Amino acid sequence: MSEPLLDIRVERKSFGATTVLTHVHLALQPREAVSLLGPSGCGKSTLLRIVAGLENDYQGELLQGAGEVAFVFQEPRLMPWLTVEQNIGFSDDGGYDRAWVAQLIDEVGLSGFGQALPKALSGGMAQRVAIARGLYSRPQVLLLDEPFSAVDAFTRMKLQDLLLQLAEHHGIALLLVTHDVDEALYLSDRVLVMDNRPSSIRQELAVGLAHPRDRRDPLLARLKALALTELQRAHVI
């Protein structure tokens, strides 16, 4: 196995008297996709923030940094007064790489919407803009915090396939928080099942399937049963 793109150990992360994470070791290989599954409040999003460098108050160490990291949130968080192009380029004065933005707009399937305002977009279209904005900085790792939970099931599947295509095309790694077991298994090379607080990684499930995947593959069904068993043991369900 090659040297990890990211390697971090969190011995303890607390908020006041409440310990959220304990003895968590997370390594991410180049171009790998990893999902975090676990109960609400167990620290999945906190772990993403630590990886992103947004949360530094923890006991542990960063053994290997991931370089440029970008974040895609549950809500698109688009600035309503900016166009699609401006939202992707983080600028309202034209001070961004217009050619790169145009390429990203085409890659996420929004050609012709560059001058549209967010109010003219559907939820799925807005999340495509958020993904393009995440790619704008050319990250090595894309962090995603339940990015598709606010859209309908069919849009969600289309966005999952789009994400995999973009990750492959740009050669980036993915670290995803989700509560959807099917989504985790469909997208990921590994799924990490986390305990209730104080949370650690209780089980790692390797998904030995190449992409593109068939959502009906029997292996995914067997892995789903294992994941649900671990979530039940963690008193999530």
pLDDT digits (tens, 9 = 90+) for 17-26: 999 999 999 9
Res 196: pLDDT: 87
89 Cα distance to chain centroid:
20
Q: For residue range 192-230, what is the model confidence (pLDDT) as tens digits?
A: 999 988 899 999 999 999 999 999 999 999 999 999 999
Q: For residue range 137-194, what is the model confidence (pLDDT) as tens digits?
A: 999 999 999 999 989 999 999 999 999 999 999 999 999 999 999 999 999 999 999 9
Res 163: pLDDT: 98
pLDDT of 78 strictly over 70: yes
pLDDT of 91 strictly over 80: no
Query: Once rounded to an integer, what is the mean pLDDT over residues 107-116?
Result: 98
Res 130: pLDDT: 97
Res 1: pLDDT: 60
Q: What is the mean pLDDT of the chain?
A: 94
Res 65: pLDDT: 86
Q: What is the DSSP letter of 195?
A: P
Residues 70, 82: Cα–Cα separation, whole Å: 20
* Structural domain boundaries in the chain: 6-233
Query: Once rounded to an integer, what is the mean pLDDT over residues 1-15?
Result: 91
Q: Which CATH number fits domain 6-233: 3.90.180.10, 3.40.50.300, 1.10.3720.10, 3.90.1520.10?
A: 3.40.50.300
pLDDT of 4 strictly over 90: yes
Residues 78, 90: Cα–Cα separation, whole Å: 10
pLDDT of 92 strictly over 80: no
Element containing residue 12 per DSSP (H, E): strand 6-15
For the ranges 19-28, 69-78, 85-94, the lowest mean pLDDT is seen at: 85-94
Query: Once rounded to an integer, what is the mean pLDDT over residues 1-10?
Result: 89
Angle among Cα 211, 2, 178 to the nearest 5 degrees reads: 45
Question: 41: phi > 0 → left, psi -120 to 50 → alpha, else beta; which?
Answer: left
pLDDT band of 233, cuts 50, 70, 90? confident
Instruction: Give the strand pairing for 6-15 and 18-28.
Output: antiparallel
